[in-house]
Structure 1
């Protein structure tokens, strides 16, 4: 695997080594020792989550606060998504900035989203199966979120707003300025 730093400190694009032959392919999707060596991050994942969505579904921007903050390693098993991480660490030099990465079943890229970041994605293919590891258990009382179309973030979700499918809960999230503090 190769970990490629993004402009946001601690956030990495992970490119696995994929071995193809006439039977298909093999890849190691995660190896704790290699991950730590490549990223300098010591992370112990405790929960795996998976979702399946149709084109235009936008999930996010979500995070967990305080002692329940989560780091995530995300990837796509089927289809194509635009995955977005937003730095919400108070005092960070890149506070309010984001990275957007195309994750597909074909490119097999992953994104490591460290604690202190909001996360979201939009499905660009007809359907997509999205899989992610978390280093902390979900806690409902620690939920935080930011409105997907906050003009301060200026995220290009690559689909027109009228084509987006967003939960009622996500439609009323606050903007970054009024969002719950991560810490």
Structure 2
């Protein structure tokens, strides 16, 4: 076989229609473009966003910056791990922390640096010491029933505004006077 022998598969390569080549071709005169109008002219393309002269969609929508956590700006996102995963990946008496969960590939490295919640889906028959930021009631019950221990990792709580701090000082001052 030589390079010059290569041909496309039969029927796969269709010849393009030659328009504007006389009456006999069936595509003569206006060449299938209809009569007059922007689309009949040379270079007469209409942009996909064009809506017939009405106000463009991009101008009708409100001007909003950014996407992301706009619906719940102060919501805390928890990475979730179920009890059944702990049963499968940890030996009896093991210490379960976000870091060990990442080592066992139950969490990604970025998830392990965030907040972790343990849920009670599945069964647990081995005693484990589990450290996480949050536990569901069923997970708490199952871990303690298996002879394990729960350690809640405290979440830092920051003062929200300067004004709130000032109100707290005012309240303390009022109590001191009373």
Bin of the TM-score, shorter chain as denominator length: under 0.3
Q: Which of the pair has more CA radius of gyration?
A: 2
User: Structure 1 or 2: larger helix share?
Assistant: 2
**TM-score scaled by structure 2?**
0.24
**TM-score scaled by structure 1?**
0.24
